[in-house]
Amino acid sequence: MEPGTHAAVHAPFQTLLPQMPTIPILMPQLGESIAEATLVKILVEPGAHIEAGADIFEVETNKATMTVGSPCAGRVDQILGKVQTSYAVGSQLAAFEVSDEDAQALGFAEGGTRQEALSAPPSMPNAESLHFQFNEEDNIVGYQPKVEPVVGGLPVPAGATGASYISPRMRARMNELGINASDLAGIAGTGAGGRVTVEDFENFLRGLEQHKLTPASPMRIAVADSMRRSWTRPLATVGSPVMLDAMLAHRRKADPKPGPALYAIRALAIALAENTAVAGRLIGNRIVHPRAIDIGFAVEVEDGVFVPVLREVDKTPLVKLVPTYNRLVEQARARRLPHDMNRPGIATVTNFGTFGIVWATPIPLPEQNLILGLGAGSKVPRWSDEVNQFIPVVEAEITLSFDHRVCDGGAAGRLLARVAKLLQEPEKL
């Protein structure tokens, strides 16, 4: 026997097998205001072979348990996540062995090592992996982050899109490039009935390369996905002017001083506590009423919006809300919100008046059906029956955008009128 032959015969069997590509299983984006989630249960064992879509983990957010599934069939190589531990969106929870074909379809380069596969962003596909021919100049340069929202508990489907029909071949091409149907709204289709054809799509891609292109941040992608899901519902907006003189006088004397948005938050909470059906969700043929009056508020951050939430606002006096509100604003701007403050409330308040905007139609979050907007205040003349003449008052427009399936204009108008009345009686807040 030749030297070294014995060692070759008894080499570990696995060294004789081809190494399969390994991809990461990541904590998914659970909503535009959710930055992390807690892993509560591991549903598979290392070494298990599972099918596409099989549940791997249960994670907790929004007072509900959701699942993280496998993107394709494969073998669980390692479990990296730990139970009862919170992980930020994008954190790796497991390593997953898949076929070469599935790895390429998911955007991972062919022939890379395991470490490269787990650390590198998905690459753009090779021409051989596409369903039809395309030129190199058609490719969109640079990796585009994609959001994979968990749909549990949402009143609208996360996969809802704006297109009426997309062929399987074109859908595959769009998935390869990280594009969804909403991005095709500007394409004039030449197919039957105005349908966007593959040729229309490829011409659209070639046209993009003639423009300046910059990558969208994960925050921007998350906000875009949330608004796309929200827009699948019939949304409407009502508005009304409200005098702010009483509120401003109350604020001058208050210590600590509430911001205008906090007055609106407290007024909305009291009004919703009086009629919770308006803030309910339509599930099948029933209105699901909220169990608590938790109100979120929009805080602008770089390239996006965070929506921290104040809990049980209807039961908490305005003066006690001020420290919590101020702390949450600072934490949101620093992107360090506590996990429990990321869970969505039943409605949101946005003070777009800080940007000098007088009137707007904000869009509620997918898991909510109400958003109250507060416009910029200005001094205007208003007729007074008491003195029989016009007097100067500070007035602002408030708007209420709502899901028209849950309530009609009358109910929305009465809710808005109640909020306006409470804002003129700040001592009751």
The answer to the question of residue 1 being in a domain is no
Are 182 and 223 in a shared domain?
yes
The answer to the question of residue 333 being in a domain is yes
Q: Is 329:262 a contact under the CB 8 Å cutoff?
A: no
Are 103 and 219 in a shared domain?
no
Are 117 and 128 in a shared domain?
no
Q: How far is CA 419 from the centre of its chain?
A: 27
Rg (CA), the chain: 27
pLDDT, one tens digit for every residue, the chain (429 residues): 444 444 444 444 344 445 678 899 988 876 555 677 889 899 999 999 999 888 999 887 644 467 888 889 999 999 999 998 888 888 899 999 999 888 888 877 554 444 444 444 433 444 443 333 434 443 434 433 444 444 333 333 333 333 445 677 777 877 777 777 777 766 777 776 667 777 888 888 888 778 787 877 777 777 777 887 888 888 999 999 999 999 999 999 988 899 999 999 999 999 999 999 898 888 888 888 988 999 999 888 877 788 889 999 999 999 999 999 999 998 888 877 776 665 678 999 999 998 999 999 999 988 888 999 999 999 989 888 888 899 999 999 999 999 999 989 999 999 999 999 999 999 988
Are 37 and 101 in a shared domain?
yes
The answer to the question of residue 396 being in a domain is yes
The answer to the question of residue 283 being in a domain is yes
Q: Is 391:381 a contact under the CB 8 Å cutoff?
A: yes
Are 97 and 182 in a shared domain?
no
Domain count, the chain: 3
Are 333 and 393 in a shared domain?
yes
- Residue 201 CB coordination number (10 Å): 20
Amino acid at 137: E
Q: Which helix (H) or strand (E) holds 117?
A: helix 114-119
Cross-strand bridge partners of residue 297: 349
Residue 312's domain spans which residues?
235-428
Are 401 and 355 in a shared domain?
yes
